[in-house]
Amino acid sequence: MPIHRFAYTLLFVTVSLLPLTVLGQATCTGALTGRITGQDNGQPLPGASVYVRERQTGAITDTVGVFRISPLCPGTYTLTIEYIGYKTLTIPATVGADSLTTLATIRLVPDNHTLQEVVVTEHRSEAQKLLQVQAGLSGNALNATRGQSLGESLKTLPGLYSIQTGPSISKPVIHGLYSNRIITLNNGVRQEDQQWGTEHAPQIDPFLATRITVIKGAAGIRYGSDAIGGVILIEPAAMPTAIGLGGELNLVGATNGRQQTASGLIEQALGGPLKGLSWRVQGTLKKVGYARTPDYFLENSSYRETNYSAGLNYTRQNVGVDLFYSQFATRIGLFRGAQVGSLSDFYAAIARTEPLRQPGFSYALDRPYQDVQHDLFRLRAFVRSDRWGTLTATVARQQNVRQEYDLLSFSRSTDPELYLKLVTHTADLVWEHAPVPTKNGGRWTGSAGFSGITQGNVRRFLFLIPNFRNYGAGLFAIERYARGRWTVEGGLRYDYRWLRAYFRDEVTDRVTNQTRDWQNVMGSLGATVQLTPELALTGTFSTAWRAPNVSDLYSDGLHQSAVAYERGNPNLNPEYAYNTNLNVEYNRNRLRVDLGLYNNRINNYIYLKPDSVPIVRQRGAFPAYTYNQVLATFRGVDATIQYKLLPRLTLVSKTSLLFAYDHTNNDYLVYIPPNRTDNGLRYDFIGTDGSASRRVSGLYVSANVLYVARQNRAPAVSERQENGQLIFTGDFAPPPPAYTLVGAEAGMRWQVAGHPLSIILTGSNLLNRAYRDYLDRFRYFADEPGRNIMLKLRMPLGQRKS
Amino acid sequence: MQPVQKSSLLFLLAVGLLAGACKKDEQNVDPTDDNEAITTATLSLTNTASATDVVTGTIENLNTSATFTNATLNLKANTTYNGSITLLDKTKTPTVDATEEIREKTNEHLFVYMYMPTGTTTSTMSVTLTDRDTNPAPGPYPVGLTTRMQTGATAGSGSMHVVLRHQPNSKDGTATPGSSDLDTSFPVVIK
């Protein structure tokens, strides 16, 4: 298998490259070390950067917030310490004649100002110090997305898109890839919530997160195979350590759909004999009615969510146990105007400029709808030692029950049309070894681990995917070497996958099964260099693979909402991705540029072949699609430019370009996000040094113009006769025209009874423009929602400081 | 080291619990079940001039590949027939008569009939819907569970295209609103 050989070559290259980076030139042997924590919670800040101005060298703190810089000659230096969300600190440091100088713990002050604009892209993010290109939402940037679904919130990041089924269902897309090609880690556990189609959105409450990190590109080494497109990490706040009761209340209201959302949490860290014990309960209620396009309401596009979670943590010095339970329950209405019985209905609906039925506003939610409940139980324990590092074990059980109710014509049945119950058990063991310093001042860090998974799926009513059982196991190791301005990283992973699907013969009632298994090795290699204090370059190359999943192999049924009969292909082979990323980050005075280039080449890319033959069933004709495999490439550019025109006025420009191609058929791929650029201005009324006594702080206003181009690189839409059969090629309708949307945002903190109340007002599609989006499966039937004004309030409770 | 022991004990306990929770539910496979399957459509035509002259065409397995063995309607030219349609779901036990359920919801259903002669032949057949729903004004509208069908003078062959439209809250007497629940054709021979 070539991938094996490739991975070994990669490892060899990694190892042989390392000495090249060790270009020590100093004769001095002094070293400087210290620990960086946040002043707010005393937690170590892993991934903070420490820069020695005089020597133009620096280091990044490790997972416990410790950095080490060497070699240094005796003398006084100026250290600049930076960490996202905290104020940059510049301190003098004197390195003595002794070989090692240890500084007192450095406490960074949280920076509310930076939090507001954070600064959506960053590298070498804290949680995982992987070199892969990352982007994240936290602080005010995350608060400004409150009330939106996960897929919608992430759309503000360059390189991220969402594929939709009406206004109520939104799935994240990273660099053109989605569904099973993206792994979502919810609180450290791989989310398994049945992503069988574009109308299956991830079941995650975004209010759980205080930070959402996205790793763009193949990142399978650490998180498992399948992550060809990327990884989304939902990171909740660390459990409280400051003794006392605290909490937070979020309220969201919106004009379009008349959304009402409330989310709250209460947490406590106990003291006395129970010191080290903490708990948290959290819950979210959400209710949204019919969405309104500029000209009409979308009937039955309402949805509801009821989510809650509870956590219990015990940490004492070097050991800790953490229990977590969460439940996400949602009922999602599907736009009634998109319900078509057959291809002729579908063409009739496409031909209409507006839906036939246009009722007034309502919160009513009737068939067709989806009812989904996701339960997660997780137990995690860790042991830490200075000598051996940290060993973390996690076991989790997830249960996902999906019920889909179609519009009924005459039947009195109260049953759903589709019932799928997926139960997943996962177990992970990760060892992060203690940093190993080398004689020449470099430092090795790394981790190794095992992960196991088993899933069982039970279906009832209509057939979409068969019952199945699968097992998977993976072993990985990642090592990182940092010295001076260089960091080099290499990783290897082996995975085994086993899948057995069960079928019932409708005539004989006999149950048969089919079994397949796969195994593979993948590798990654990356390097980052801080060329000057202003300029950093990062390059990564990684391979990843994805075994075909049960819906690729065995799906066999009618997607009523997608008006397509989808047939799996049991002979599919795994996909192999070769992903190259190059990132340039430039930061000087008033200018900040973040430029990312990527090339993802996927062999055996599995997709629904656009050629289809109609299949006739009781309701009439449907196009039938089968899965096939091609060589596909996804290339693109993500660019973020920030320029301070005036001390308080910032220009923010975010551009995402994507070019995807099917090299097997020499054609474009369907449903590829079109190019877009989002440009805006932001004005901050109060400087960062506003005194604490001020009632209002952090006041800002911003406005942006989003331009989304027409997707001109889409397969041609055509029909042709072949052997007496009508064959459709491409899409049902050409991509919609380009559109421009105007948005605005304003926010501030207001001191109310000693608590900082955060108020954010956002407006989208302010000019109330009627438009359709290429990535929305309901674009054939109706316009996208019109103007929407959202108010988001966030109030910390209790005596803790925010 | 007490907490370590405690935590590892907890961990083992949880692993045991989780492992014990694995049942082999997936090996019991449920049959495929469609709430609104229509397996059988029967169009029954009675000669208005002779009550004993009944012509019946039945299409089976509509929900899968469709069987037309007994589907052909052999009719006389220049004759008027009273028609009635029956839809059955034989996947259920006992068999469900979907026509009965449609009769209860006539305000949101409409049968559309259209005769199409084969090739260039010129045989004709006209269809009149003879039943009415209870929709308020501007209703009531026709339903189409019962019909009157009149063959033309020319002999020939063709097909009777039958479409059942589901038009909840939108029925206006035309075929345009709603979606199709049934869309099939009975072969017709007029002699």
pLDDT at A141: 87
pLDDT for B12: 55
Q: Which domain holds residue B52?
A: 38-190
Cross-strand pairs, A134: A215
Across A137-146, A227-236, A778-787, A792-801, least confident range? A792-801
A659 compared with A628, residue with greater pLDDT: A659
Contact flag B169-A320 (C-beta cutoff 8 Å): no
Q: Do A410 and B101 touch (CB under 8 A)?
A: yes
Q: Which residues in B77-178 belong to E strands, given as ranges?
A: 80-89, 96-97, 109-117, 125-129, 146-151, 156-166
pLDDT at A558 over 90: no
Please give the single-letter amino acid code of residue A288.
Answer: V
- For the ranges A185-194, A214-223, A471-480, the lowest mean pLDDT is seen at A214-223
How, if at all, do strands A620-646 and A564-567 pair?
parallel
DSSP characters for A135-175? EEEEHHHHHTTTTS-HHHHHTTSTTEEEEEETTTEEEEEET
Q: Are residues A77 and A213 located together in one domain of the fold?
A: no
Between A8 and A569, the more confident residue is A569
Statement: residue A517 has pLDDT above 70 = yes
Checking if the pLDDT of A746 tops 80, the result is yes
Q: Where are the alpha helices (DSSP H) in A495-624?
A: 550-554
On the question of pLDDT at A225 being above 80, the answer is yes
What is the dihedral angle through the alpha carbons of A195, A197, A203, A207, rounded to the nearest 10 degrees? 120
Q: How far is B145 from chain A (nearest CA, A)?
A: 14
Kindly tell me the burial class for residue A508, based on how many C-beta atoms sit within 10 Å of its own C-beta (0-12, 13-18, 19 or more).
exposed
* Domain containing residue B71: CATH number: 2.70.50
The verdict on A214 and A353 lying in the same domain is: yes
- The pLDDT, as a whole number, for residue A724 is 67
Centre a 10 Å sphere on the Cβ of residue A710 and count the other Cβ atoms it contains. Answer: 15
Q: How many CA atoms lie within 13 A of A711 on its CB side?
A: 25
Please give the tally of structural domains in chain A.
2
Is A779 inside any structural domain? Answer: yes
β-pairing, A277-288 vs A696-708, is unpaired
What is the predicted pLDDT for the residue at A351?
86
- Cβ separation A341–B179 shorter than 8 A: yes
Percent pLDDT > 90 in chain A is: 52
Same domain, A204 and A57: no
| Residue A85 within any structural domain of the chain | yes
Provide the b/e sequence for A223-234 (b: ≥16 CB within 10 Å): bbbbbbbbbbbb
Neighbour tally for A7: CB within 10 Å: 21
User: Dihedral through CA A602, CA A604, CA A607, CA A609, nearest 10?
Assistant: 120
Q: Prior bond to B94 cis, omega within 30?
A: yes
DSSP state of A560: T
Q: pLDDT of A313-342, one tens digit each?
A: 998 888 999 999 999 999 999 998 888 878
Q: Higher pLDDT residue, A722 or A657?
A: A657
Closest CA to A558 of A627, A622, A467, A468: A622
Separation in Å, CA of A29 to nearest CA in chain B? 39
**Same domain membership, residue A207 and residue A90:** no
Tell whether A505 is within 8 A of chain B (Cβ).
no
CA distance B168 to A418: 22
| Minimum CA–CA partner of B182 in chain A | A619
Same domain, A263 and A307: yes
Is B134 contained in some domain?
A: yes
Q: List the single residue in A454, A511, A620 with the smallest CB-CB distance to B29.
A: A511
Q: Which residues of chain A from 237 to 276 reach within 8 Å of chain B, CB to CB? A: none
Distance CA A491, CA A293 (A): 48
Does some domain include residue A417? yes
If one compares A510 and A342, the residue with the highest pLDDT of the two is: A510
Instruction: Give Dmax over CA atoms of chain B in angstroms.
Output: 101
DSSP designation for A494: E
Q: Sorting pLDDT into bands at 50, 70 and 90, what band is A113?
A: very low
Cβ of B30 within 8 Å of Cβ of A461? The answer is yes
pLDDT at A25: 34
Q: Which pLDDT belongs to residue A252?
A: 97
Nearest Cβ partner for A381 among B7, B63, B183: B7
User: Is B25 contained in some domain?
Assistant: no
The ipTM, to two decimals, is 0.84
Is position B32 within any domain? no
**Domain finish residue from A110, A134, A155:** A110
Q: Is residue A519 in a domain?
A: no
The mean pLDDT of A568-578, rounded to a whole number, is 95
**Which residue matches tokens 């930070």?**
A211
Helix (H) or strand (E) holding A258: none
Residues A146, A37 share a domain: no
Q: In angstroms, rounded to a whole number, what is the distance separating the alpha carbons of residues A673 and A774?
A: 7
* End-of-domain residue from the set A70, A92, A110: A110
Report the C-alpha gap between A177 and A87 in whole angstroms.
36
* Cα of A246 vs its chain's centroid, Å: 28
The answer to whether residue B1 is domain-embedded is no
Question: Which residues sit opposite A76 in a β-bridge?
Answer: A94
> Which member of A339, A393, A467 has the closest CB to residue B26?
A467
B172: in domain:
yes
How many Cβ atoms are within 10 Å of B169's Cβ, its own excluded?
12
How many CB atoms are located within 10 Å of the residue B19 CB?
A: 12
Using the predicted structure, report yes or no on whether residue A253 has a pLDDT greater than 90. Answer: yes
Strand partners, A138: A211
Domain C-terminal end among A44, A79, A110: A110
With residue B101 as reference, give the H or E element that holds it: helix B98-104
Same domain, A648 and A720: yes
Same domain, A176 and A296: yes
DSSP 8-state symbol, A444 = E
State the DSSP string of A307-365.
EEEEEEEEEETTEEEEEEEEEEEEEEE--GGG--SSHHHHHHHHH-SS-S---------
Record: contact B10-A456, CB cut-off 8 A: no
Q: Say which amino acid occupies B41.
A: A
From B7, B24, B25, residue closest to A319, measured CB to CB? B7
Confidence (pLDDT) at A119: 30
If contacts are CB pairs under 8 Å, which of residues 367-426 in chain A contact chain B?
Answer: 379, 381, 383, 393, 395, 397, 406-413, 415, 417, 421, 423, 425
In angstroms, the Cα distances linking B32 to A418, A473, A707 are: 10, 32, 46
Residue A481 has pLDDT above 80, yes or no: yes
Written as tens digits, the pLDDT of chain B (191 aa) is 344 455 555 555 555 555 544 568 899 999 988 888 899 999 999 999 999 999 999 999 998 888 999 999 999 999 999 999 999 999 888 999 999 999 999 999 999 999 999 887 789 999 999 999 999 989 899 999 999 999 999 999 999 999 999 998 889 999 999 888 999 999 999 99
A649 and A788 fall within a common domain: yes
The answer to whether residues A390 and A450 belong to one domain is yes
Query: What are the chain B neighbours of A344 within 8 Å (beta carbons)?
Result: 180, 183
The answer to whether residues A576 and A602 touch, using CB atoms and an 8 Å cutoff, is yes
CATH number, residue A733: 2.40.170.20
Best of B110, B145, B179 to disrupt the A interface by mutation (most A CBs within 10 Å)?
Answer: B179
Q: Does any domain span residue B164?
A: yes
* Residue range(s) defining the domain that contains residue A775: 116-366+379-468+482-512+524-798
**Identity (one letter) of the amino acid at B37?**
A
Chain B contacts in chain A segment 595-624 (CB below 8 A): 616-621
Reduced to 3 states, what is the DSSP secondary structure of residue A31? Answer: strand
In a domain, B97, yes or no: yes
Note whether A491 and A522 are within 8 A (CB). no
Written as one letter, the residue type at A740 is T
For B14, the closest of A379, A409, A511 (CB atoms) is A379
pLDDT at B3: 47
In this structure, what token pair is assigned to residue A204? Answer: 């995650």
Q: Return d(Cα A376, Cα A193) in angstroms, integer.
A: 10
Residues of B in contact with A316 (CB under 8 A): 3
> CB neighbours (10 Å) of residue A28?
15
Span A222-236, mean pLDDT? 89
> Closest by alpha carbon to A560, among A346, A324, A275?
A346
Q: What pLDDT is stored for residue A220 in this prediction?
A: 77
Total domains in chain B come to: 1
Contact by Cβ (8 Å): B34, A462:
yes
The whole-chain average pLDDT of chain A stands at: 86
Q: Which of A379, A456, A619 sits opposite B25 (nearest CB)?
A: A456
Q: Quick one: chain A helix, strand, coil %, rounded to 5?
A: 10, 55, 35
Q: A521-555: per-residue pLDDT in tens? A: 999 999 988 888 888 899 999 999 999 999 999 99
pLDDT reported for residue A565: 82
Mean pLDDT calculated for residue range A490-499 = 95
The values of phi and psi at residue B164, to 5°, are -100, 115
Contacts of A595 (CB under 8 A, 6+ apart): A583, A584, A585, A637, A638, A639, A640
Alpha-carbon span A562 to B177, nearest angstrom = 19
Which residue shows structure tokens 């998974």? Answer: A453
Domain identity same for A99 and A163 = no
- If you write DSSP's letter for every residue of A366-388 in order, what string do you get? -SSEEEEEEEEEEEEEEEEETTT
- Rounded to whole angstroms, how far apart are CA atoms A541 and A115? 31
Q: Is the pLDDT of residue A16 over 50?
A: no
In the beta sheet, which residues pair with residue A480? A445, A489
Region A478-489: mean pLDDT is 88
CB atoms within 10 A of CB B70: 11
B82 and B25 Cβ atoms separated by less than 8 Å: no
Predicted local distance difference test score (pLDDT) of residue A17: 37
Mean pLDDT over A653-676 rounds to: 94
CB contacts < 8 A (A, B): 158
| CATH number, position A69 | 2.60.40.1120
Cα dihedral A302, A306, A307, A310, rounded to 10, equals: 170
The span from the CA of A114 to the CA of A136, in Å, is 14
What pLDDT sits at residue A56? 66
Is there a single domain that holds both residue A362 and residue A418? yes
CA gyration radius, chain A: 27
Instruction: Examine residue A614 and say whether the peptide bond preceding it is cis (omega within 30 degrees of 0).
Output: no
